[in-house]
Each structure stands twice: as structure tokens, then as C-alpha cells.
Amino acid sequence: MNDSALQVQGLRKVYANGKTALDGVDLQVSKGAFHALLGPNGAGKSTLINILADIVRPTSGLAKMFGRDVFHERAWCKRHLGVVPQEVAFDPFFSPVEVLRITSGLFGRKPDDAWINELLDRLGLAEHAHKNTRQLSGGMRRRLLVAQALVHRPSLVVLDEPTAGVDVELRRSLWAFMRELNRSGTTILLTTHYLEEAEQLCDHVTIIDGGRVVADQSMRELMEVVAGRYLYLGYGDDFELSEADARALSAFRPRVMSGGICLRLGGQGSEGHGFHQVYEAAVSRLGIPRKVEIRQEDLEDVFIRLTGRARHERSRA
């Protein structure tokens, strides 16, 4: 399709140690989109991004950027792509300004000092512009990576957890900046651990797990259709769900949560479970709760439900 900024088809990566990191991933990012790529640790997000950035070689599959073959038209694609990698590595002898001027040169551009200064300013690096990068904190280096990815004004920007380890205030200014970039026409693919970040910024979400796509929808659809309502019944901190009760309530996909239980309320149609049906079924097994709430799932709940994992769970210690 010619309205896509990025099209990935059947992408597979098996690392030398035999680990399958991507197991046939399809992904389409529309031109102008602010697209979230989410998934638990080890899902394969960085592998996908590193393949686009030419850091990792794919085992098989296709990728096109604005209709151009990523693997055969590398030079063209590199000029139009900005990648913020997850790992931070800089030559410690250069200052941020130098890093940005050198990076411009790598893209065959004359350094645009006005743009470089704007980037440094917007990313809160202006006062550190002439320090050695080794004097910068982790958060500052991460912001310098963002500046570096944007210095050649790419049409597609891919960010691999750009806000990890960045404090709340700066995270917000980074959000504002990314939003502005997107509004001015830049397509953004964002990987993040902060689901509320994706929920606030992105208009489309792809969730991957174990190297496969488990959800791919517009944010609105995901929130309206996939995200459901559920009933929370609070029983107190020592609440435990026995296996027999879990089995009896399995139609409502019970989840133990903060001293109680969450049960899914069905949406519309014949599969729907109304409040009374769910409530009575729960009370007949668990007794009368101290607290009753109807909640709307947010992106984090959807993520946990689809991947069976909590967002901060680490697969690597």
C-alpha cells in the first residue's frame, strides 16, 4: 500500500544461539501515524527495530519504507529513517554539539546549526551542549540519542524505549516534543514500557509477545472493543482464590488483584455477562464483598490480559 510509511511482512529472526526472537511478524505503520509497538521484555521489539536500523540481520522476511525495500535500498532508507536505539553508546570524547554535527555529516548533510540548537533546547540539553558526553547522566545520553536520530529530519522515526530512565518532568517534555513532530508530519513508531504513555500519544497499537503479533488495532478500537469492563470485588488483603472457585468462575476470566478479584463483564450480544449474573456467581462462591466497583480496562489491563504478563516483569534479571 502506498499510504504506509513502514510495511513489515513475515519477519523472522533466529539468533546464532538458536533463539527465535521474531516468529513471522507483520506490521504496517501508516504515513503520519503515531504507532505504539508494545510487548513484555524479550518480546522481540528491539530485534525488530535493530533489523530496521541495519544492526541485526533478519533470517527472512520483507520490510519496506515508503515503498522502498529496506534491505536493498539501504542508503535511501537510512536517509529517511531516524532510530533511537535502546542501548546507549557514544564516543566519550565528543560533546553533544559535536555528536550532532558529525551525525549530520554521516547523512551527507551540512550541519543545520539552527535545527541542532533547537533539538538541544527542546531536549533540555542546551546547557550541556559543550560538555564531554561522558559527563552526561544516563537520562541526558538518552535524550542525546533522540536528538541524534532527528538531526537529518527523517520522515520516519523509530524510538526504542526513549523515556526509560528519564524523570517525569523530562518525559513530559519529550512527549510534547514527539507530539509536535508527529503533528508536523513525521511518522513515529514508539516502543515503551509506560503504557499510559502509549495510551496518551499513540493512535495505533501493535502488541507482540514471543516474537508474534497478539494485537494490532487502532488505539480507539482497542480501548472500545478489546478493552472491556470488569467487576472488581474487594475481600481484603488476605484474599486468595481457590482452584475450585477459579474453575467455577472461569467464564468471567477471574484475576486476583489488590485484595480482591476482577471478573470480566461481557459487552453486548449473547456472550455478554451482565452485572447481576457475574455478581451473583461470585457471591455464591466467595461471599459478600466489602467493596464493589465497575472498572473500565485501560491499556495496561489489556496488555496483561493479552500477554499474561505484568509490564514491569523482567524476563532477564
Interface residue list for Mg ion (CB under 5 A): 45-46, 86
46 binds ligand ADP (CB under 6 A): yes
Does 53 participate in binding ligand ADP (rule CB under 6 A)? no
Q: Is 162 in the site for ligand ADP (CB under 6 A)?
A: no
Cα 99 to Cα 92: distance, rounded to the nearest angstrom: 10
| Binding site partner of 15, from Mg ion, ligand ADP, none, Cβ cut-off 5-8 A by kind | ligand ADP
> What, of ligand ADP, Mg ion, none, does residue 39 touch, CB below 5 to 8 Å by kind?
ligand ADP
Contact call for residues 310 and 304 (beta carbons, < 8 A): yes
Backbone angles phi, psi at 118, to 5 degrees: -65, -45
**Total residues belonging to the chain:** 317
- Shortest Å, Cβ 315 to ligand ADP: 7
Closer of 126 and 164 to Mg ion (Cβ): 164
Binding of residue 47 to ligand ADP (CB under 6 A): yes
Residue 85 near ligand ADP by CB under 6 A: no
| Grid cell listed for 54 | 541495519
Which of residues 46 and 103 has its CB atom nearest to ligand ADP in the complex? 46
27 binds, among Mg ion, ligand ADP, none (CB under 5 to 8 A by kind): none
Query: What is the SS3 assignment for 57?
Result: coil
* Least CB distance to Mg ion at residue 118 (A): 29
Q: Give 176's contacts (C-beta < 8 A, 6+ positions apart).
A: none
CB 155 within 8 A of CB 80: yes
Q: How far is the CB of 41 from Mg ion (least distance, A)?
A: 7
Distance of closest approach, residue 17 Cβ to ligand ADP, in angstroms: 5
* Residue owning grid cell 480501548: 223
In the list 15, 60, 287, 296, the residue contacting ligand ADP (rule: CB under 6 A) is 15
Pick one of Mg ion, ligand ADP, none as the site partner of residue 41 (Cβ within 5 to 8 A by kind): ligand ADP
Footprint (CB under 6 A) of ligand ADP, residues 208-227: none
What is the closest distance, in whole angstroms, from the C-beta atom of residue 255 to ligand ADP in the complex? 24
Question: In whole angstroms, what is the distance from residue 69 CA to residue 49 CA?
Answer: 15
**For every residue of 201-260, which 3-state class applies, written as one string?**
HCCEEEEEECCEEEEEEEHHHHHHHHCCEEEEEECCCCCCCCHHHHHHCHHHCCEEECCE
C-beta closer to ligand ADP: residue 41 or 277: 41
Residue 275, binding choice from ligand ADP, Mg ion, none, Cβ under 5 to 8 Å by partner class: none
If the CB atoms of residues 158 and 265 are measured against ligand ADP, the closer one turns out to be 158
Nearest-CA neighbor of 245 among 232, 228, 263?
A: 263
Please report, as residue ranges, which positions from 114 to 133 form the binding site for ligand ADP (by CB under 6 A): none
Helix, strand, coil % in the chain, rounded to nearest 5 = 35, 25, 35
Minimum distance from CB of 52 to ligand ADP (Å)?
12
CA distances 36 to 194, 206, 256, Å, are: 11, 6, 28
Within 13 Å, how many C-alpha atoms sit on residue 234's CB side?
9
Binding mask 25-44 for ligand ADP (x = CB under 6 A): --------------x-xxxx
State which of residues 6, 11, 21, 83 lies at the interface with ligand ADP (CB under 6 A). 21
List the beta bridge partners of residue 30.
4
Which residues would be at the binding site for ligand ADP (CB under 6 A)?
15, 17, 19, 21, 39, 41-47
